[in-house]
Structure 1
Amino acid sequence: MTDESTTSYDDGGISCDDQGLTIRRYYPWGAKRIHYTSIKGVQKLPLTGANAVHRWRIWGSGDFLHWWNLDTNRPRKDLALVIDLGHHVRPTITPDAPTAVERILAEHIAAQLNQTAQPNQERRR
């Protein structure tokens, strides 16, 4: 079996291809793969002001809500993305280009919503 996916973003820790999001160094033993169809939403989390304490979370969870992959450069970053998978604990990432990753995720989420809405519209006709 060959992998036919095309990578649209990769900074070494986070990658997006046409099938989903890969968060490297998520687990002690490796990466977490999330298919776009599993993503319910994405929220920006500024790592400034009251949230500045999160920028020092190098790996793991300090609040049992966010799970941070290992990113030793996080203290120098200003924005995180919280991935809603419909579970209590949410993967939280700090890509090097958060705006690009947010755009990619939003495009795939919108495409998914359009696909699920089209069959419903067809039935109404």
Structure 2
Amino acid sequence: MSGGSVGYRDRWIECGPDALRIRGYYFPWGTKTIPYASIRGVRRVRMGPLTGQARIWGTGNVRYWAGLDPKRLSKTQGIVLDTGKYVHPFITPDDPAAVEDIVRERSGAVDDGAA
């Protein structure tokens, strides 16, 4: 999970020293890199069958984009990131609490209840 300057890593998410990387964000396998300095808000959300859990990749709502995660069906929590753009990245790390803590610490982001 962690090693060296990487604060967190699973199959799809990596919290590096300066940026969050989301593998499989762009079709077919492109990585999105989000510098912590560009993250304004972070919000952990509960998922259900009709609220993101059944979406393996993409969007059902144009305001959110879910990076690829074939195991999302077995997860109950996700994280929405506010980067100041219309579309908010939606991620489902294996350990959402760890990722949320790292992103808040490195970005200075606040709880984004309006994301």
TM-score, normalised by the number of residues in structure 1: 0.79
Q: Aligned runs of 1:1-125 on 2, under 5 Å?
A: 6-28=5-27, 29-48=29-48, 52-53=49-50, 54-110=52-108
Rounded to whole Å, the distance in 2 between the matches of 1:57 and 1:89 is: 16
Rounded to whole Å, the distance in 2 between the matches of 1:97 and 1:24 is: 16
Residue by residue, what CA displacement relative to the aligned partner does 1:18-69 show, whole Å, maximum 9, x if unpaired? 1110000000141000000000010111013xxx311001111111011001
The amino acid that maps onto 1:82 is V
The amino acid that maps onto 2:15 is C
CA contact (8 A) 2:38 2:107 kept: no
Report % sequence identity. 41
TM-score, normalised by the number of residues in structure 2: 0.86
Residue by residue, what CA displacement relative to the aligned partner does 1:85-119 show, whole Å, maximum 9, x if unpaired? 01111000000000000000011123x89xxxxxx
Rounded to whole Å, the distance in 1 between the matches of 2:99 and 2:83 is: 16
RMSD: 1.7
Unaligned 5+ segments in structure 1 are 114-125
Unaligned 5+ segments in structure 2 are 111-115
Alignment size in residue pairs: 105
